[in-house]
Amino acid sequence: MRAGDFPGRHNGFREELESRLLGATANINLLRTENDGIRNFDQLSRRLAHLPHVVATAPSLYEEVLVSSRSRAQGVVLKGVEPGQEVKVGTLLRHLREGSLAGMAETFPNADPIIIGTELAKSLGVYVGDTLLVTSPQGYLTPLEVVPKFRHFRVVGVFDSGFYDFDATWAFTNLAAAQRLFDLADVVSVIEFKVDDIYRAPEVAEEIRRAAGKGLTPPPGLSRTIRYSPPCAWNGWSPS
């Protein structure tokens, strides 16, 4: 091996890894400090999309759920999205190994569409066309207990991001289906942003924070906040 060969290949691999990690999810997240959801999100998202350095915006609603198939079950994050907008802020749904993104718009008798990661599909032993039971801890309150809410979902796609944590613990459905499951009509938990320069994310986040407050009238005591994702925010990784 000639001197310098390995470092060159290593640097190329690292650059590719950085690019894939940074592209997998949104750069900036806008949410409410009280974690009670964002209403009128369509109007707010469209307005903030015109800010400098913002490339794309996407509303989403997510919660931890239990996904099961026959005798197998696993806890995952279920994310309700508008597919056409989601693929502009993150790349996970662009890497489908099976099925298609168009399946997210399909309707089924007594079921909603879902796209899962390859590792989750392996763990549950399911394929495109199979049905899963998704149970939400946000259930019904009875005089004796909280009864979890559940709904059936049909697998319409399997994504392969190349990163185990995403492929094993994330699942996607359309926004309306997530709102039904979580009983949160016309609410999202976050508005996501993609920016043209990840290293400007802190200053763009601050501009979004200022712009999000203009013309809005939240109840007294509630405010909005920005959580932005700098390059070191994924799994302890940081660039040099």
Under-50 pLDDT residues of the chain = 1-10, 12-18, 214-225, 227-240
pLDDT of residue 80: 97
| pLDDT for res 9 | 46
Check residue 187 and give its pLDDT.
92
pTM over the 0.85 mark: no
Show Cβ contacts of residue 4 under 8 Å, excluding neighbours closer than 6 positions.
Answer: none
Residue 219: both structure tokens together: 């109840």
- pLDDT of the residue at 10: 45
Residues of the chain with pLDDT > 70: what percent? 75
Q: pLDDT tens, 81-122? A: 999 999 999 999 999 999 999 999 999 999 999 999 999 999
HEC string of the chain equals CCCCHHHHHHHHHHHHHHHHHHHHCCCEEEEECCCCCECCHHHHHHHHCCCCCEEEEEEEEEEEEEEEECCEEEEEEEEEECHHHHHHHCCHHHCEEEECHHHHHCCECCEEEEEEEHHHHHHHCCCCCCEEEEEEEEEEECCCCEEEEEEEEEEEEEECCCCHHHHHHEEEEEHHHHHHHHCCCCCECEEEEEECCHHHHHHHHHHHHHHHHCCCCCCCCCCEEEEECCCCCCCCCCCC
Instruction: Kindly report, residue by residue over 201-229, the tens digit of the pLDDT.
Output: 889 988 998 888 743 323 333 333 454 34
